[in-house]
Amino acid sequence: MRSFTTGCARCGHVAAFPAYRCRACASPLVLDLAPVSAADCRPTSGRGLWRYGRMLPRVRHSVTLGEGATPLLPLRHGGATTHVKLESVNPSLSFKDRAMALAASAALDHGMTGLVLASTGNAAVSAATYAAAAGRRCRIFCATGSNAGSKLATARAHGAEVELVAGHYSDAYAAATRAEGEGWLNVTTTYRNPLLTEAYRPIAAELVDDLGDVPDVVVVPVGAGPLLRGIWLGFTDLVAAGLTGREPQMVGVQAEACAPLARAWGAGDRGRAEWAAALRQPFEVGPTAATAIADALRGYEDEGLLTLDAVRRSGGRIVAVGEPAIAEAGHRLAGEGLFVEPAAAATLAALRNPVVAGSERANACVAVLTGHGAKESSTLTAGGMA
């Protein structure tokens, strides 16, 4: 495993993990990991997330429920060019399990009370699941103004304590932030906790192992976007270790109804200050079935810069897709035996965009199917299957 330091993404100020914001400039923190060798990027005898444990930041515990090492399948209607990565088959049915396995391990390392987060969705279920696996508590802050569905019932079943906060998501986010100083590890799955992004690095190694090559394009649904950045960081590891000669273009997908990153990207590549200003531009959030990526980033706009930076450095782009296209993509995937949440289906909708699906090469494109449809089956059957 890799030693690391924690520092500011903007000014380089160093912090001691666990830490959440730069004390000098309040920007998001990132981890700086020691380099890896080619051998470090190969599978070990470890289980779950720890199969590629040498790519991860060093923790002493290794909580696992068998997450990771998810299947990569060719898409029947995608020709030879498109594969899907089934993060939907992780233990709590979403990619968040990779991050929560790492977070729960770190919480044990630091003798913390448990995991705390602001969420009503996949992250809440995953945090509750892994806190239970680690024998630690889980506190979930949920805004009264949010649409709390059946996912919180699942979290409660794992023993999570759900606390209602008057207001909207940003109020729940602030409540989770306040708990950071009280012995809780904040695992709100924006970039709040810099550790979580690191758990996605092994996805890059899994993809290259399964494909035998680097894909040209990796399409990822993004709210704040730590999954996209984490996968990209994994590819930079493979390049640095000499295992591959290039990175794929990272393509982030948002729903048109809530697309702050796509809007900022569309404003042009004008540098950090201009992107930061674009992310602060007020905009109206419309209804979308893709709730898992409907994140307006209000109150933590600068976190979006980390995703924009990864996309730019990979030569990729961020696109937005409409509700009919998301619904149609969900229907097509279900028709191939793949029942996924609308946010995951958005990847396939993006692939219909000729700018995204430019390559006809075999194994050219991977769409990351982030979450299973079982937790949102009412949405899918009511709207998506019309």
Residue numbers at the binding site for Zn ion (CB under 5 A): 8, 10-11, 13, 22, 24-25, 27
Q: Which is nearer to Zn ion, 10 or 54 (CB)?
A: 10
Q: Which is nearer to Zn ion, 8 or 289 (CB)?
A: 8
Tokens encoding 215: 């894909």
Q: Which is nearer to Zn ion, 76 or 272 (CB)?
A: 272
The rounded distance, in Å, linking the Cα atoms of 80 and 365 is: 9
CB of 237 to Zn ion, least distance (A): 25
CB of 21 to Zn ion, least distance (A): 8
Q: Which is nearer to Zn ion, 18 or 252 (CB)?
A: 18
Q: Which is nearer to Zn ion, 6 or 347 (CB)?
A: 6
* Contact predicate 325/177, CB 8 Å: no
CB atoms within 10 A of CB 270: 11
CB atoms within 10 A of CB 299: 14
Q: Which is nearer to Zn ion, 19 or 267 (CB)?
A: 19
Q: Which is nearer to Zn ion, 19 or 133 (CB)?
A: 19
Tokens encoding 256: 């048109």
CB of 30 to Zn ion, least distance (A): 11
CB of 309 to Zn ion, least distance (A): 15
CB of 15 to Zn ion, least distance (A): 9
Side-by-side strand order, sheet with 249-255: 72-74, 82-86, 365-369, 217-221, 249-255, 317-321
CB of 316 to Zn ion, least distance (A): 26
Q: Which is nearer to Zn ion, 9 or 172 (CB)?
A: 9
Q: Which is nearer to Zn ion, 216 or 302 (CB)?
A: 302
CB of 34 to Zn ion, least distance (A): 22
CB of 37 to Zn ion, least distance (A): 31
Which has the closest alpha carbon to 352: 329, 333, 380, 371? 329
* Contact predicate 100/163, CB 8 Å: no
The rounded distance, in Å, linking the Cα atoms of 225 and 303 is: 9
Tokens encoding 165: 């906060």
Q: Which residues have CB under 8 Å from 354's CB, separation 6+?
A: none
CB of 25 to Zn ion, least distance (A): 3
